Amino acid sequence: MSSPAFSNSGPGMLYQGALTPVTGRFALIAARFNDLVVERLIRGAQEALHQHGIGPEQIDLIRVPGAWEIPLAALHLARSGRYGALVCLGCVLRGQTDHYEYVAGAAAQGIARVALDTGLPIGFGVLTCETLEQAMDRAGGKAGNKGAEAALAALEMAHLLRRLAPLSSVSSPSFPAPSSPETL
């Protein structure tokens, strides 16, 4: 016997984020390593935020040496209380050594830990690819732009966390909670 599908037509509430402008600042943390790819991720993230009403004055760009350094910068920015969301952008390409696994894994785990430890929404736009061609495809090529997708995920999560704030003892750092879920 199959269980009934969840629906929002019943007595429960549906909470989800939105892709509409918010008051607050965004930080794009971008690695300089593999800059050919990362520059395209940055442009994608900026354009996506602009298309959804986030002005250039609300977006700061922070450059770090490589993907390994992104989590530490993210932690400092998250703790600053200045930002309502972060977007982490980088590119790690597989080489002929184990270095790829260490850098890619540390970046992913570190960014996730910052988000969980601080409660700040963080869009993950660190590509982990086998080849430069695959990375270029994901940075504005035939597979879309993962920088844009990461920025929109951060925007959507900023909205969602604002909506969830009244239900939780965890607060969203730089975006004040609305008075009711309908005000988003």
Q: With respect to residue 115, please indicate whether it lies within any of the assigned structural domains.
A: yes
pLDDT, the chain, mean: 88
pLDDT at position 132 is 95
Q: Do residues 100 and 93 touch, judged by C-beta distance below 8 A? A: yes
- Domain harbouring 150, CATH code: 3.40.50.960
Show the tokens assigned to 154: 């951060």
Q: What pLDDT, in 10s, does the model give residues 15-30?
A: 888 888 777 899 999 9
Q: With respect to residue 17, please indicate whether it lies within any of the assigned structural domains.
A: no
Catalytic entry in 52, 76, 99, 159: 99
Q: With respect to residue 148, please indicate whether it lies within any of the assigned structural domains.
A: yes
Choose the most confident range, by mean pLDDT, from 2-16, 40-54, 84-98, 169-183.
40-54
Average pLDDT over residues 3-18: 66
Q: With respect to residue 51, please indicate whether it lies within any of the assigned structural domains.
A: yes
The pTM of this model reads 0.85
Q: With respect to residue 126, please indicate whether it lies within any of the assigned structural domains.
A: yes
Average pLDDT over residues 44-57: 96
Residue 90 to residue 104: CA distance in whole angstroms: 10
Q: What pLDDT, in 10s, does the model give residues 101-139?
A: 999 999 999 999 999 999 999 999 999 999 999 999 999
- CA distance between the termini of the chain: 39
What's the domain range around 79? Answer: 27-59+69-131+140-163
Residue 65 to residue 47: CA distance in whole angstroms: 23
Average pLDDT over residues 178-182: 40
Active site residue 99: yes
How many structural domains are present in the chain?
1
Q: Judging by beta carbons within 10 Å of its beta carbon (0-12, 13-18, 19+), is residue 23 exposed, middle or buried? A: exposed
Share of the chain above pLDDT 70, in %: 85
Q: With respect to residue 73, please indicate whether it lies within any of the assigned structural domains.
A: yes
